[in-house]
Amino acid sequence: MSKIKLILVDDHAVVRSGLRMLLEAQTDMEIVGEAENGREAVALAQSLQPDIILMDILMPDMNGIEATRLVKEAAPDTAVLALTMYEDDQYFFEMLKAGASGYVPKRAAPDDLVTAIRTIYQGEIFLYPSLTARLVQGYVRQNMPDASRNNLTEREREVLILIADGLTNAEIAERLGISVKTVDRHRENLMRKLNLHSRVDLVKYAIKQGLIDLDEW
């Protein structure tokens, strides 16, 4: 079984050392390089073609956002996982726009980081749970003009998108940090305001509004 080849990018040597100890203890992972700034990361990505780069954001010489853009141009098969102490919306969205496949705060538990790496290696996206709601909110603000005319609250729009994505009420509650009972109430309000009668109707409405990427279904 081949190992996941990783490059660690952080301007603090002690952080890279800690990450190396954690990840090399995993039987399916291998550290093939380290860099202390974005420019070095791009060069290593070109020469080593790793599976995943763990990328800090604010670094000297070249930041992680610009480095991620260049990595995706130079080594398109290499995935980038943002690993940073910054949880600001600005950095979060800029890294995703640059091509990052995941975003994990440094405060995350070691098991979460390991899970993120394995998830991305399988070609999927990993967003730390507490950050997912921000992505949903941002998407809602940009993509639901028609729904806003139906007087939906921002939370109702979030619930609608997650219903359309196929999540159960329990999963939506966990994702948004609310109770299942509250999710039920939002779902009932959605159907009342939109004059719909089932979850299937809600999904159809979401498709009509362009909230679902049918290519991913």
Average pLDDT of span 89-103: 87
Count: domains in the chain: 2
Tell me: the pLDDT tens digits for 148-157?
445 788 888 8
- Asked if the model's pLDDT at residue 93 lies above 90, the reply is no
For residue 22, give the nearest of 104, 145, 140, 123 by alpha carbon: 104
Contacts of 217 (CB under 8 A, 6+ apart): none
195 and 141 belong to one structural domain = yes
Q: How confident is the model at residue 217 (pLDDT cuts 50, 70, 90)?
A: very low
Q: How confident is the model at residue 135 (pLDDT cuts 50, 70, 90)?
A: low
Contacts of 123 (CB under 8 A, 6+ apart): none
Final residue of a structural domain among 93, 127, 161? 127
**What is the Cα 184 distance to its own chain's centre?**
26
53 and 112 belong to one structural domain = yes
Average pLDDT of span 70-90: 90
110 and 137 belong to one structural domain = no
- Asked if the model's pLDDT at residue 49 lies above 90, the reply is yes
- The CATH number given to whatever domain includes residue 70 is 3.40.50.2300
54 and 144 belong to one structural domain = no
- Asked if the model's pLDDT at residue 201 lies above 90, the reply is no
101 and 117 belong to one structural domain = yes
Average pLDDT of span 27-40: 97
Give the domain extent around 83: 4-127
Alpha carbon distance 187, 137 (integer Å):
17
Final residue of a structural domain among 127, 146, 164? 127
105 and 145 belong to one structural domain = no
For residue 53, give the nearest of 77, 79, 73 by alpha carbon: 79
Is the pTM for the entire model greater than 0.75? no
Q: How many degrees, rounded to 5, is the angle at CA 70 between CA 69 and CA 76?
A: 85
- Asked if the model's pLDDT at residue 214 lies above 50, the reply is no
111 and 156 belong to one structural domain = no
Final residue of a structural domain among 127, 150, 174? 127
173 and 211 belong to one structural domain = yes
121 and 136 belong to one structural domain = no
* Per-residue pLDDT at 86: 84
